[in-house]
Amino acid sequence: MKQTTTAPLTMQNYINGKWVASESGRIHENRNPADPDDLVCTFPDSSPGDVDAAVAAAKKAYRAWRLTPAPRRAEYLFKVGAILSEKKEQFARDMTREMGKVLAETRGDVQEGIDTAYLSGGEGRRLSGDSVPCELPNKAGWSERHPIGVAGLITPWNFPMAIPTWKLFPALVCGNTAVLKPASDTPLSVFNLVKACEEAGIPEGVVNLVTGDGRNVGNRLVEHADTRVISFTGSSEVGRQLASACGKSLKRVSLELGGKNAQIVMEDADLDLALEGVLWGAFGTTGQRCTATSRLILHKPIKKRFTEMLVERVKGLKLGNGLDESVQVGPCVSKTQRESVHRYVEIGKNEDRARLVCGGEFYTRGECEKGWFYTPTIFDNVTRSMRIAREEIFGPVLAILEANDFDDAIETLNDTDYGLSSSIYTRDVNNAFRAIRDIEAGITYVNGPTIGAEVQLPFGGVKDTGNGHREASHTVLDIFTEWKSVYVDYSGRLQRAQIDTDDTV
């Protein structure tokens, strides 16, 4: 089916309330991964100097923004949420063109941004601290949140609007200003987000956008003396480098990194429900989610039957341009990503015992001939030690492992360097609660797939998945605020805590 496209947009950086060209003069092209002949937009390949200008603008704006009452800061976010809602379909279509996932998912991506705007806006009248009794008479004590300063926000391509809003909106409602650095594969969605912020009237310098690569833009943002907090979503390898760089200046850094998530299916599970879960978890977003189901752990008694059910459904999935409402699986985001996926498939084919059940090749049929499509792939007879069971592939590749019983399934799930999301399908309530207790992950689903997090609950993981912070929910506020403890002594005399506690009123 021929898709209608629009003329390519020429993007610019957004610094101090103005759209400006990069001082480098260089540009990059953003092309549709379903059809690389479709030029979506061009965007600046910025220099460290552009980052310096953006950080300077954010630092200047911080003086007034931090003193703007939090409920007033929240009103801007409510306006942004309304704009995103009004333009949801347009922004979803732009996102499908630039990163490939199907329209149902890009609409959900924008909706998550809308939800985050209203959740963060609600914190403008809360930003709760603790009021506690003091041990001495005529003395009050409480804690309150204060902003940190300029936030550097480095975001990935797989959720090109949702994840930037996870970072930007909490940062702003807490009183920080921000410099956004989007992924080079998906700058348009962040451009649309920043345009919405501009339309909402957010004061100049509070939100800034600089596009470009990690070497010139990302590194400068991390190392700049005037960025006081960095929030990054990406690979564990890059996360370690950022943690090291931020550690040198004791700069706060929040890292949301990789995953090697597993879904367990026990003998007593609703197999039809579990089948729908793994199809969505493994092949939604073409497997390009940090929460994607990349391991399927099947209880031995149902393994053969369930595998046959799964393979039949996977072979029937429709690949194509995500603008076609009937398509179920879009392309990989880029040629480079597709090649990376294929390298892992070749590794799997050469690992002892692993058996390629379906997929494992470029998909070039019909209108998919030009795009970066890859057939949904399943490996059976996978063991814990295999690379395809241990390393993040970030593509439509699923490894099936066998478990002898419940304890073996939990042990297999936990045998990974990552710990983001997890899932178990069972009708046994006791095993469900044991799984919740014993699984080593930041998220556990019972009778649901490994994907589908909601913004009102904390998002993040353990082990190599991050450094302990949690995005979304109220927990994200701890990334973007400093705690201050306040004591007010209205006794009119010196009172010494821990010393004068025997005094009477």
Write the pLDDT tens digit of every residue in 75-102: 999 999 999 999 999 999 999 999 999 9
Task: Tell me what percent of the residues of the chain surpass a pLDDT of 90.
Answer: 97
417: domain CATH number?
Answer: 3.40.309.10
Q: How is residue 181 written in tokens?
A: 């650095």
What is the reported pLDDT for 5?
Answer: 54
Report the pLDDT value the prediction gives residue 352, as an integer from 0 to 100: 85
Residues 124 and 227 in one domain: yes
| Residue 53 in domain | yes
Range of the domain at 215: 16-257+466-485
> Same domain for 319 and 245?
no
pLDDT of residue 503: 55
Kindly report the CA angle at 52 between 49 and 56, in degrees rounded to 5? 145
Per-residue pLDDT, 436: 98
Q: 454 lies in a domain?
A: no
Q: Are 171 and 183 in contact (CB under 8 A)?
A: no
- DSSP 8-class letter at 215: I
Span 281-303, pLDDT tens digits: 999 999 999 999 999 999 999 99
Structure tokens at 315: 């072979």
**Does residue 2 fall inside a structural domain?**
no
Segment 338-367, tens digit of pLDDT: 999 999 999 999 998 999 999 999 999 999
- The lowest-confidence range among 6-15, 22-31, 75-84, 94-103 is 6-15
Same domain flag for 137 and 50: yes
396 and 480 both lie in a single domain:
no
pLDDT surpasses 60 at 505:
no
Q: Can you tell me the mean pLDDT for 29-41?
A: 97
Answer yes or no: do 50 and 143 share one domain.
yes
251 & 291 share domain: no
- Is 74 a residue whose pLDDT tops 50? yes
Q: Are residues 162 and 299 in the same domain?
A: no
Which has the closest alpha carbon to 424: 310, 258, 274? Answer: 274
pLDDT band for position 1 (cuts 50, 70, 90): very low
CATH number of the domain encompassing residue 182: 3.40.605.10
Indicate whether 266 pLDDT > 60: yes
Phi, psi of 471 (to 5 degrees): -90, 170
d(CA 246, CA 250): 6
pLDDT at residue 237 in the model: 96
For residue 2, the model assigns a pLDDT of 47
Nearest of 42, 84, 58 to residue 193 by alpha carbon? 84
Q: Mapped to the 3 state alphabet, what secondary structure does 200-212 carry?
A: CCCCCCCEEECCC
Same domain, 134 and 281: no
Mean pLDDT estimate for the chain: 97
Tell me the average pLDDT across 247-276: 98
CA 124 to chain centre: 23
Q: Which residues contact 249 (CB under 8 A, 6 or more apart)?
A: 225
Q: What is the pLDDT of residue 146?
A: 98
Q: Kindly tell me if the per-residue pLDDT of 156 is higher than 70.
A: yes
Given a cut of 80, whether residue 502 has pLDDT beyond it is no
Q: Are residues 397 and 277 in the same domain?
A: yes
Task: Provide the 8-state DSSP code for 500.
Answer: S
Q: Is residue 47 part of a domain?
A: yes
* CB contact at 8 A, 39 and 29: yes
Catalytic residue annotation: 256, 290
pLDDT grade for 6, boundaries at 50, 70 and 90: low
- Tell me: do 371 and 332 sit in the same domain: yes
Say how far apart CA 159 and CA 150 lie, in whole Å.
23
Distance between CA atoms of 443 and 451, rounded to whole angstroms? Answer: 10
Same domain, residue pair 120 and 183: yes
Q: Are residues 313 and 412 in the same domain?
A: yes
pLDDT in tens, 104-128: 999 999 999 999 999 999 999 999 9
| Helices and strands (H and E) in the chain: how many | 15, 20
Give residue-wise pLDDT tens across range 426-477: 999 999 999 999 999 999 999 999 999 999 999 999 999 999 999 999 999 9
Count of domains in the chain? 2
CA–CA distance from 366 to each of 34, 139, 421 (Å)?
A: 12, 76, 36
Q: How many C-beta atoms lie closer than 10 Å to residue 171's C-beta? A: 29
Integer Cα distance of 431 and 401 in angstroms? 19
Average pLDDT over every residue of 13-23: 97
The answer to the question of residue 11 being in a domain is no
> Coil, strand or helix: which one is 294?
strand
